[in-house]
Amino acid sequence: MVFSEGSMKQMVTKVAINGFGTIGKRVADAVDAQDDMEIVGVTKTSPSFGCELVVRKGYPLYCTFDDNEKIGAFADSGYECKGGLSSLLSICDVIIDCSPGKVGAENLAKYKLAGVKSIFQGGEKHTLTDISYTSSANHSENMDVDSTRVVSCNTTGLSRTLVPISEFVKEKGKISVNSVMIRRAADPGDSSKGPINAIKPVLKVPSHHGTDLMTVKPEIEITSLAVAVPTTIMHVHAITVTLPSGHGLSAEKVLELWDNTPRVILMNGAKTKITSTAEVMELARDIGRKWGDLHEIFVWEDGVSLLDDTLYYFQAIHQESDVIPENVDAIRAIMNIEKDWKASVDKTDKAISAYNGI
């Protein structure tokens, strides 16, 4: 930890990013936007095109590996590489692992050896860290832990809209949820995934998304099915919630709950003419965040219906970006900086907006 200059000395957490891909480059910017943390380095595996962005942003560039030949390859391509992962680990307080998934165990061993706290992403299993994270579900449980995992984009989306409902009805009982996840086939930058002309059900039934929510909010009983469709821009969830009797909710009250929930956008599809994910992403581009990101979960208010004890709704998830502000909040939890999740969310989001000039 270091102290920044100024009359009120503030702790500035030194953050490293391991893996500067779709998620890593976005988390780096979100961290760079905050005044209580700074980027001390990001890693690339090799001198690919992403290094240009690293240079433009002025982030110190490190190699994902300690191998001298791999480190040397950066200079051969004209990039200044400051060293391998071990060098980066020696100067940071916390590392955000944004590797492609399933390499977490190997990376965690390196972080532990260096005595550095770490945050993983949803491509890793909950068992890697034995604790997972979303801002609204379990921020306080994550205070001062050594390592955590920000759940996937889909699970983050489920948490955003289901946690407030679960909290509202908890005196009356638990909610029971079934969600159908209509998943994008690939991110816009991916050329190796599909399908491109098919609808592909995930035959592992139920899918992992529902059970993943229970890692951050075990009180919610949930199952899910998933299907991949040929789009790159968003996921859509079709959600059915069975509420406990005497729940006290109406469709209007549910909308009011979400209206008061951070990082949820409610819009009327018929009135706004936002009738599909295409228009939702156009709205996101209008908002003006970098890469046209949408950190919020989008809910069509005219698609919300409550019949007796059953609530139905649709929501859309920008898979590349809803987890980005959650990573910033997770840093404040595991570094013991801010106990109040809403205070952290407010600080994170205001700083990102200012950074983007919006």
Q: Verify binding: residue 121, ligand NAD, rule CB under 6 A.
A: yes
Annotated active-site residue 92? The verdict is no
Inter-axis angle of helices 251-259 and 153-169, to 10 degrees?
120
How many chain residues interact with ligand NAD (CB under 6 A)? 25
Separation between Cα atoms, residue 55 and residue 20, nearest integer Å: 12
**Which of 323, 335, 351, 352 is the binder for ligand NAD (CB under 6 A)?**
323
**Distinct helix (H) and strand (E) counts, the chain:** 14, 16
Separation between Cα atoms, residue 97 and residue 20, nearest integer Å: 9
Q: List the one residue out of 264, 152, 274 whose CA is nearest residue 210.
A: 152
Q: Based on CB atoms, which residue is closest to ligand NAD, 96 or 311? A: 96
Residue closest to ligand NAD, measured at CB: 21
Separation between Cα atoms, residue 103 and residue 105, nearest integer Å: 6
Q: Based on CB atoms, which residue is closest to ligand NAD, 174 or 200? A: 200
CA–CA distance from 232 to each of 99, 130, 221, 286, 306 (Å)? 20, 31, 30, 19, 31
Residue 5, Cβ density class (10 Å: 0-12 exposed, 13-18 middle, ≥19 buried): exposed
**Which of 12, 31, 36, 107 is the binder for ligand NAD (CB under 6 A)?**
107
Q: Based on CB atoms, which residue is closest to ligand NAD, 121 or 134? A: 121
Q: Verify binding: residue 244, ligand NAD, rule CB under 6 A.
A: no
**Which of 83, 123, 230, 303 is the binder for ligand NAD (CB under 6 A)?**
123
Q: Based on CB atoms, which residue is closest to ligand NAD, 326 or 349? A: 326
Task: Find the shortest distance in angstroms from Cβ 64 to ligand NAD.
Answer: 4
Name residue 350's amino acid: K
Within 173-202, the residues that bind ligand NAD by CB under 6 A are 187
Catalytic residue selected from 51, 63, 81, 153: 153
Q: Nearest 5°: phi and psi at 217?
A: -145, 80
Within 6-25, the residues that bind ligand NAD by CB under 6 A are 18-24
Distance of CA 136 to the CA centre of its chain: 12
Candidates 6-14, 99-107, 110-118, 288-296; binding stretch for ligand NAD (CB under 6 A): 99-107
Separation between Cα atoms, residue 243 and residue 169, nearest integer Å: 8
Q: Verify binding: residue 255, ligand NAD, rule CB under 6 A.
A: no
Candidates 92-100, 140-148, 244-252, 306-314; binding stretch for ligand NAD (CB under 6 A): 92-100
Q: Is residue 66 a contact partner of residue 86, using CB atoms and an 8 Å limit? A: yes
Q: Verify binding: residue 99, ligand NAD, rule CB under 6 A.
A: yes
Q: Verify binding: residue 277, ligand NAD, rule CB under 6 A.
A: no
Residues carrying an active site annotation = 153
Site residues, ligand NAD (CB under 6 A): 18-24, 45, 64, 98-101, 103, 107, 121-124, 152-153, 187, 319-320, 323
